[in-house]
Amino acid sequence: MSLRKVMRVLGPGRRDGRNLTYEEAHDAFSAVLSGNESDIQVGAFLVLMRMKGVTVQELTAFARAARERARIPCEEMPGLVSICPPHDGMDRFPPLEVASGLIAAGAGVRVMIVTDRCVPPKRGLTAASVLEGLGVGLTWDAHEAEDWIEKTGFGAIAASGMLPALMGLRRVRDEVAMRTPLSTVEKLLAPNSAAVVIGAMGGPVLGTAAEVMQALGHPRGIVLQGPEGGVVPGIMKRTRGIELGERHLVPLNVEPEDFGLEGGEEPELPLFCPLRDDQGTGDNPALVRIVGEMTVEILGGARNGGRSASLLGAALILKASGRAMTLAEGLDAAAHSLDTGAAREVLERLRNLR
């Protein structure tokens, strides 16, 4: 089904407009990813879906259409947690999911971060920026990602490496200049068998993303509304989330004061350093270096807000994996990984693979 026909079904401005069936939504997103539709048609479809409000059924169909075209690593790998932060990144808070993932890997969890670089419309800093600052980088190859995770317990892969069609949509996303369902779908590029930790923006998308995660058949998972829609909780106030376990969805609230963590200030990016390079299209190399240094400081035992937030993020990964029954138990295991140097050892093993 062409996007033109789908948009007639949606009926912008018509009384007989309706939501898409699963089959219509699947065909529509397959068309978006095919490269055969014009940028104008794709942009109009994405904006129309944003204005209408996407349903759980539609998002599930979109995600399955994307997975069918993607080369996703680590299918059936036991004990894997796939970390899925916002791909357009952060412009106020540092992406701490790398530190959290390394800490969780040091505690025995297999961690895969799905990320990307300089994604419009925001073009913020992502895990890819941090990994470059650490001198590790990420891979575009599914087999290499699987090899890294097997050998070190940690790996990061570019979403557009798994699904090259995402690169072809960047111009459309830049022109549309708003988040669309595509921003949620790309965070759902994960192995079917893996537990997942997904970041969600504020509002009703939290519940929608959790129901889609459940509909896709993941055994366990957490959707979290961290700062800027990230996967790492804030340390100054409660962070809302929803957990999937035993096929049930339950509310999850992270209250930092319950854990007595040190470092009372939310970690933030330095205001004096511009987010982007001189062309406005790529990461600022100075800022990439800074976020890499922040992560090294956390892994080295710094007692600050970055440590506290990273430990909470790692505790969530451990809980999602099933290794920790409670956040408190996960926090204890995360602190042990950090304090014994196990997290730093994971980073060194990654560097030795390069």
The model's pLDDT over 168-186, given as tens digits with 9 standing for 90+, comes to 999 999 999 888 999 999 9
| Residue 191 CA: distances (Å) to CA of 99, 226, 233, 340 | 22, 23, 24, 31
Task: Please report, to the nearest 10 degrees, the dihedral formed by the alpha carbons of residues 34, 35, 36, 37 taken in order.
Answer: 100
Lowest mean pLDDT among 1-5, 153-157, 199-203: 1-5
The pLDDT assigned to 276 comes to 80
What's the rounded Cα separation, in Å, for the pair 228 and 226?
6
Place of tokens 């993607």: 70
Confidence of residue 14 (pLDDT cuts 50, 70, 90): low
Cα–Cα distances in angstroms (integers) from residue 3 to residues 46, 172, 310, in the given order: 10, 15, 42
Q: Is the pLDDT of residue 130 over 90?
A: yes
CA distances from 59 to 54, 62, 102, 106 (A): 7, 5, 30, 34
Over residues 302-328, the mean pLDDT reads 96
Is residue 348 a contact partner of residue 150, using CB atoms and an 8 Å limit? no
Q: Are 125 and 90 in contact (CB under 8 A)?
A: yes
pLDDT tens for residues 61-87?
A: 999 999 999 999 999 899 999 999 999
Residue 255 is predicted with a pLDDT of 92
Task: Indicate the pairing of strand 195-199 with strand 239-245.
Answer: unpaired
**Distance between CA 322 and CA 235 in Å, rounded?**
23
Alpha-carbon gap, residue 154 to 110, rounded angstroms: 6
Confidence band of 13 (pLDDT split at 50, 70, 90):
low
What is the mean pLDDT of the segment spanning 268-293?
84
CA–CA distances in Å: residue 244 to residues 178, 195, 269, 326: 29, 9, 32, 13
Residue 247's pLDDT is what? 83
Mean pLDDT of the residues in the chain: 93
Residue 213 has pLDDT above 90, yes or no: yes
Q: Is the pLDDT of residue 38 over 60?
A: yes
* Residue range 50-64, pLDDT digits in tens: 988 999 999 999 999
- Model pTM? 0.94
- The helix (H) or strand (E) run that includes residue 170 is helix 170-176
Domains in the chain: boundaries: 3-53, 80-353
Q: Is 322 left (phi over 0), alpha (psi -120 to 50) or beta?
A: left
Q: What is the assigned CATH class of domain 80-353?
A: alpha beta
Instruction: Please give the pLDDT value at position 284.
Output: 87
> Residue 281: pLDDT band by 50, 70, 90 thresholds?
low
Side by side, the strands of the sheet bearing 221-224 are: 154-158, 110-115, 80-84, 195-199, 221-224, 239-245, 248-254
Question: Which pLDDT band, with edges at 50, 70 and 90, does 12 fall under?
Answer: low
